[in-house]
Every structure is written in C-alpha cells, then in structure tokens.
C-alpha cells in the first residue's frame, strides 16, 4: 500500500506523518501493494480539514472531515472512508472481480458491527443528447447560469477538448479539463 501525505498551508512533520501512516496501517493487510492512498491536510479557518483519496484498480473512494485537531480529523476521515466501503458492500461483493481487495476486506472484517439493507440497484432513468458547441469557459458559465444548471459540458474553443464547468458550494466555479 502506498500512502502519500501532503499539506496545503501547513507543514507535515515526520512525527505527524508517522502517526497518519500508523492509523492508515489498518488498510494495509487488505489492500497490500495494490492500494494507493493520498492524504491531504489543510487549514480551514480554526479547523484542520483532512481528505483521503483511495485508488484501487482504477476505482476511487474519497472521504473528507474537519476538526480542530489534526489527528481527530484523520480519524474521522478514515471512519468515513470505511463507512463508504461498507455502504457499498453489497455492490462490491456482487462484483468481486472488479473489487477483489475491497471484497476481501469486507468479508474478513469481523470486528465491524453493522447491518445492511439491500439497496435497490440504481439505474439510468433519463438520457439526454446535445450538440457540443465551441465556447470559452466564460461563455460556458454564462450559458450554465442562463439554463439554471449547476454544471455544463462544452467544447473549449481554444483546446478543442470536451470540458465541464460546474458551480461549487462556495459560489465559485470549477473547471474539469480532461487529459488525453
């Protein structure tokens, strides 16, 4: 298992990094060398925000938590990540070929006390086709606002690639630009 830690606006010392690695060690016996974890810690006001992204066989799990103490935020984030994995248990166990390490983690984790209700499998209920028109990011924002949507897929007129502009929770905008 490969774990990378990074701090945004804070410096992560060797002691803190080792404590994070110790807390993440619980995943090591299940994911071995297959799993890749990225731990990002940043200061948000008076709190510390921790984000953990797990990549396993091209699949991603992501969790984020905030707390005044860094290690408490890390613990909360790890708990959320475990909760996500467990929540997806039925789907994962039904698709063992796609998630072999996660499935074995859930099957062998006897310490967990949880029950699952069988969730109805989500399906695509609506499809929409539209013409991609070349435009700038600013034009895309204007178009998105006029339509009242919170995201818009468009063709960037400069790069000629398909991009997504979206409205963030903080009121600003985000841009997703694919790499080919």
At residue 32, the pLDDT reads 66
DSSP state of 9: S
| 164: pLDDT strictly greater than 90 | yes
Indicate the SS3 state at residue 173.
strand
At residue 113, the pLDDT reads 47
| 89: pLDDT strictly greater than 70 | no
| 144: pLDDT strictly greater than 90 | no
| Distance in angstroms (rounded) separating the CA atoms of residues 71 and 52 | 13
């Amino acid at each position: 298992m490969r774990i990378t830690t990074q701090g945004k606006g804070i410096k992560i010392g060797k002691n803190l990094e080792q404590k994070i690695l110790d807390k993440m060690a619980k995943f090591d016996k299940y994911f071995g060398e297959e799993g890749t974890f990225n731990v990002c810690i940043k200061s948000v006001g008076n709190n510390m925000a921790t984000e953990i992204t797990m990549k396993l066989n091209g699949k991603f799990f992501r969790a984020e938590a905030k707390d005044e103490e860094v290690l408490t935020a890390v613990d909360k984030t790890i708990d959320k990540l475990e909760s996500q994995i467990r929540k997806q248990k039925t789907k994962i166990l039904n698709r063992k070929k796609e998630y072999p390490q996660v499935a074995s983690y859930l099957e062998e984790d006897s310490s967990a006390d949880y029950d699952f209700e069988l969730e109805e499998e989500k399906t695509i209920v609506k499809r929409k086709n539209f013409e991609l028109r070349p435009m700038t990011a600013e034009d895309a924002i204007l178009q998105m606002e006029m339509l009242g949507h919170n995201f818009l897929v468009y063709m960037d007129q400069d790069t000629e690639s398909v991009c997504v502009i979206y409205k963030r929770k903080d009121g600003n905008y985000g841009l997703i630009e694919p790499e080919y």
